[in-house]
């Protein structure tokens, strides 16, 4: 029987504590989270509202919070923050909900928060996958990813007969390893608690088989290979969807959470940016770039980030790393069927994805003992003089020793990533790894059960939560200034004679990002801006278009100039007006001033 990690048991128990307020920063099961969302909307009804966009297969509502300031102007740009698309990323939903409470509570007192919400709408979807996430609050504890349709994984005519299960009854579903010459795994030479794939090209022979903890109830010599559910929310979006893959679902958009998110974005053209807290990252690692003119194949956009857009994402990633210090990267390079990929490739939205936290691969530096003396004052000078007196002979001997030490280190095997993680676990929180223990398995015989505890890799230590949340909220607030904001830099009229006027309007983008991403322009998925000339009765347009579409305005002061020729008596010229309208970058209007 394995011991229950104390830290994880605390996380499980704290969910139902009635003494914690609805605004508390903690992991929450579905009902607890819905209660907190409702309380937030009631307590701050002037700035917060709630919309239900879908219900999961488990009949759990998926709610989106809308936060904004007062005097909302038409065309105000919006940011959509989505968390917990993968069932294992429950901490991300706690962080997102904490953002909502902080913004609502600080709107009246913090100038930065007020400026952000007065100029930007923020939608927050704290939990996009409530069914899979609920496994975080059910014993035995298991990292569940799937929540949709199941298939017959082992093609034996039965479905779900061999799911992962808690064979040893310790409350966790971890891993089983057993010695077998037909296995593909060997012990990490630097830490035998970790298994790594044998590289036969280097003469390495497999010694272990490794399975998810479970039974072989159908007698096919495979363990925990046929779970009841297979489809995953984060594999069911249309972009890169994989046919004949059980985790991808029956067809794109088959999962209700996916349909709800797609329909929500289509119904809200004011959304200019999507921020995702989940398992995929494009802020720490530079995303793969493709040519701006890369063509779609059979109307399907190519995979990757357009070169022009990649430059902006690189800059936003740099600022993210500087602001948060995060080094957490994607755990997998597979983004097929992901929400992040669909938002960018199919909708052309600026999409920023953060993993938030991953288990470090190095132990924290040791702090020197408080009583340990260090040389100071004259002693330091004496030591320096003594070292200098040793001369060239001493230097040569020291260099030789250093070289020998380096040679010895180069012969040592490099620890695997998981072996490095165990260094941090051993130093900070040993309960995150369940030691391997011998067990007599009903079908396999003598085995060992253990490994990383469920959710150990995805949930930071509790004492790091507040700092992590503060850094990420500050970054999200900073994104408001990066969105495209279109206004009139100039609007003039110049008399050319005989009642003819040249009207000139110059639009300027005050944000960092272009008005439309290159992806949006290529896919034509985002509605362009509309620039319209309004004339008083009796005035006539001689040149130019009454209304023109605007797609290209670069960021950081980029401009777009339009000119018209208008025939109007001077007394009517004062009634000329130019109007700019957009779904996601604001609206503006101007009356042309007489050009001297």
Mind listing the pLDDT tens digit of every residue in the chain (596 residues)? 444 444 444 444 444 443 345 778 999 999 999 999 999 999 999 999 999 999 999 999 999 999 999 877 778 999 999 999 999 999 999 999 999 999 999 999 999 999 999 999 999 999 999 999 999 999 999 999 998 888 877 677 777 788 999 999 999 999 999 999 999 999 999 999 999 999 999 999 999 999 999 999 888 888 998 888 889 999 999 999 999 999 999 999 999 999 999 999 999 999 999 999 999 999 999 888 898 888 877 767 888 899 999 999 999 999 999 999 999 999 777 899 999 999 999 999 999 999 999 999 988 887 666 555 544 545 445 544 554 555 555 566 666 666 656 665 566 889 999 999 999 999 999 999 999 999 999 999 999 999 999 999 999 999 999 999 999 999 999 999 999 999 999 999 999 999 999 999 999 999 999 999 999 999 999 999 999 999 999 999 999 999 999 999 999 999 999 999 999 998 899 999 999 999 999 999 999 999 87
CB atoms within 10 A of CB 339: 28
> For 208-244, b where at least 16 C-beta lie within 10 A, e where not — what string?
bbbbbbbbbbbeeeebbbbbebbbbbbbbbbbbbeee
pLDDT score for 16 = 42
Answer positive or negative: Cα dihedral of 156, 158, 159, 163: negative
CB atoms within 10 A of CB 18: 4
For domain 484-594, give its CATH number from 3.40.109.10, 3.40.630.10, 2.60.40.10, 1.10.580.10: 2.60.40.10
The CA-based diameter of the chain, rounded to the nearest angstrom, is: 101
Q: What angle do CA 54, 478, 89 make, to 5 degrees?
A: 40
CB atoms within 10 A of CB 527: 15
CB 336 within 8 A of CB 234: no
CB 146 within 8 A of CB 232: yes
Running DSSP on this structure, what letter comes out for residue 161?
A: S
Q: What is the 3-state secondary structure (H, E, C) of 327-342?
A: CCCCCCCCCCCCHHHH
Token pair of 240, please? 């890169």
CB 49 within 8 A of CB 40: no
Token pair of 355, please? 């993993």
Burial of residue 354, with CB atoms counted within 10 A of its CB: 0-12 exposed, 13-18 middle, 19 or more buried: buried
Look at residues 513, 444, 449 and name the one whose alpha carbon lies nearest to residue 478. 513
Running DSSP on this structure, what letter comes out for residue 71?
A: S
What's the CATH number for 23-136+232-358+459-481?
A: 3.40.630.10
Running DSSP on this structure, what letter comes out for residue 221?
A: S
β-strand 559-567 against 540-543: which pairing, if any?
Answer: antiparallel
First to last CA, the chain: 89
Running DSSP on this structure, what letter comes out for residue 5?
A: P
Note the Cα 93 to chain centre separation in Å.
11
Q: State how far the Cα of 347 lies from the Cα of 527, in Å rounded to an integer.
A: 11
Token pair of 549, please? 């579409």
Q: State how far the Cα of 310 lies from the Cα of 352, in Å rounded to an integer.
A: 11
Q: State how far the Cα of 99 lies from the Cα of 45, in Å rounded to an integer.
A: 16
Instruction: Report pTM.
Output: 0.89
| Token pair 């700019």 in the structure block, residue | 580
> For 252-277, b where at least 16 C-beta lie within 10 A, e where not — what string?
bbebbbbebbbebbeebebbbbbbbb
pLDDT score for 20 = 42
Distances (CA, A) of 60 to 26, 131, 242, 277, 535: 20, 7, 26, 20, 53
Token pair of 535, please? 């004339």
Note the Cα 241 to chain centre separation in Å.
19
Provide φ and ψ at 275, rounded to 5°. -115, 130
Look at residues 320, 329, 354, 326 and name the one whose alpha carbon lies nearest to residue 340. 354
């Amino acid at each position: 029987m394995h011991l229950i990690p104390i830290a994880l048991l605390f996380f499980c128990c704290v969910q139902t504590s009635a003494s914690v307020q609805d605004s508390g920063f903690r992991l929450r099961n579905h009902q607890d989270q819905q209660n907190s969302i409702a309380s937030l909307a009631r307590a701050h009804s002037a700035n917060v509202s709630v919309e239900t966009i879908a219900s999961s297969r488990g009949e759990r509502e998926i709610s989106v919070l809308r936060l904004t300031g007062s005097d909302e102007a038409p065309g105000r740009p919006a940011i959509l923050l989505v968390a917990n698309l993968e069932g294992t990323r429950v901490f991300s939903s706690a962080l997102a909900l904490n953002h909502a409470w902080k913004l609502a509570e600080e709107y009246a007192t913090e100038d930065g928060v007020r400026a952000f919400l007065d100029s930007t709408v923020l939608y927050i979807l704290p939990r996009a996958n409530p069914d899979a996430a609920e496994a975080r609050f059910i014993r035995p504890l298991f990292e569940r990813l799937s929540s949709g349709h199941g298939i017959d994984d082992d093609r034996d005519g039965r479905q779900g007969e061999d799911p992962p299960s808690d064979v040893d009854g310790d409350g966790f579903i971890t891993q089983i390893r057993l010695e077998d010459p037909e296995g593909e795994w060997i012990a990490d030479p630097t830490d035998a608690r970790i298994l790594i794939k044998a590289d036969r090209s280097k003469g390495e022979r497999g010694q272990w088989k490794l399975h998810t903890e479970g039974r072989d109830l159908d007698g096919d010599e495979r363990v925990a290979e046929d779970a009841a559910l297979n489809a995953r929310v984060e594999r069911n979006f249309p972009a890169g969807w994989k046919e004949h893959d059980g985790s991808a679902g029956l067809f794109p958009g088959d999962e209700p959470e996916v349909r709800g998110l797609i329909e929500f974005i289509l119904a809200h053209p004011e959304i200019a940016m999507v921020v995702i807290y989940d398992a995929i990252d494009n802020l720490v690692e530079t995303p793969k770039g493709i040519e701006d003119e890369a063509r779609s194949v059979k109307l399907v956009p190519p995979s990757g980030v357009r070169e022009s857009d990649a430059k902006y994402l690189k800059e936003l990633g740099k600022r993210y790393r500087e602001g948060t210090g995060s080094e957490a990267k994607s755990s997998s390079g597979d983004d097929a069927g992901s929400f992040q990929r669909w938002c960018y490739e199919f909708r052309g939205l600026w999409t920023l994805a953060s993993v938030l936290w991953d288990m470090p691969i190095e132990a924290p530096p040791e702090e020197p003992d408080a009583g340990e003396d260090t040389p100071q004052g004259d002693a330091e000078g004496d030591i320096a003089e003594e070292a200098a007196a040793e001369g060239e002979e001493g230097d040569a001997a020291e260099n030789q020793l250093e070289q020998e030490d380096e040679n010895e280190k180069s012969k040592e095997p490099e620890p695997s990533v998981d072996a490095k993680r165990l260094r941090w676990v051993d130093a900070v929180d040993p309960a995150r790894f369940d030691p391997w223990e011998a067990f007599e398995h009903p079908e396999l015989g003598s085995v060992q059960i253990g490994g990383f505890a469920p959710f150990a890799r995805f949930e930071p230590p509790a004492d790091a939560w507040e700092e992590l949340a503060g850094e990420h909220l500050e970054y999200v607030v900073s994104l408001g200034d990066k969105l495209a904001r279109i206004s009139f830099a100039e609007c003039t009229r110049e008399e050319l004679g005989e009642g003819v006027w040249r009207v000139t309007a110059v639009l300027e983008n005050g944000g960092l990002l272009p008005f439309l991403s290159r992806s949006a322009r290529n896919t034509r998925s985002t509605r362009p801006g509309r620039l319209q000339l309004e004339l008083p009765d009796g005035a006539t347009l001689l040149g130019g278009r009454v209304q023109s579409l605007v797609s290209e305005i670069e960021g950081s002061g980029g401009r777009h100039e339009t000119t018209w020729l208008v025939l109007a008596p001077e007394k009517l010229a004062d009634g000329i007006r130019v109007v700019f309208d957009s779904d996601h970058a604001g609206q503006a209007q101007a009356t042309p001033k007489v050009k001297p």
